[in-house]
Amino acid sequence: MSNETNPYYVLGKLIEKDVDSKKIKDFVEQYLKIAEKNGEKPDEVLMQIKNFSMELNESLMDICVKIQSNLPRAKHDDPTSDLVTVKEAAKIFNVTSATIRNWIKDKNYPLPANNFGKRQTRISTKALKDYIKTKPRTI
């Protein structure tokens, strides 16, 4: 498989500079056409791309948390420094804010979060990382 048809290479090139939803949609559609020509089932190909995306998100989160934990801290550590907003959490995992809120409200497996008032929900990066690693995946 050449670099141009390798989904990991192409996806990496797409996010290398800037995330552009149209480019990603075009990539997925183009890759599906190639996969169908090679006799692959579209559902299986889409599942492979989704799984890769989840693994990539987990890896990026792990790396960011490790790097952040090694950064020098100011003498007056801000106790909220490792907290992110719902919107920031959604960007990290390339989902909507509504998805993050649904994860927080999930009765079976809630995402731990702190609410400091109206539209002041914060999630620790450690909680996000742990949640994604242990969250049961639905197909």
Hey, what domains does the chain have and what are their CATH numbers? Answer: 1-72 (no CATH), 74-139 (1.10.10)
What's the gap between Cα 3 and its chain centre? 24
Task: Judge whether residue 7 has pLDDT over 80.
Answer: no
The answer to pTM > 0.85 is: no
Task: Give Cα separations from 71 to 85, 87, 102 (angstroms).
Answer: 21, 24, 32
Average pLDDT over residues 88-112: 87
Which residue did the predictor score with more confidence, 94 or 73? 94
Percentage of the chain beyond pLDDT 70 is: 76
What lies within 8 Å, CB to CB, of 13 at 6+ separation is none
Using an 8 Å Cβ cutoff, are 36 and 43 in contact?
no
Residues belonging to the chain: 139
43, 46, 50, 52: CA torsion to nearest 10: 120
Average pLDDT over residues 53-81: 70
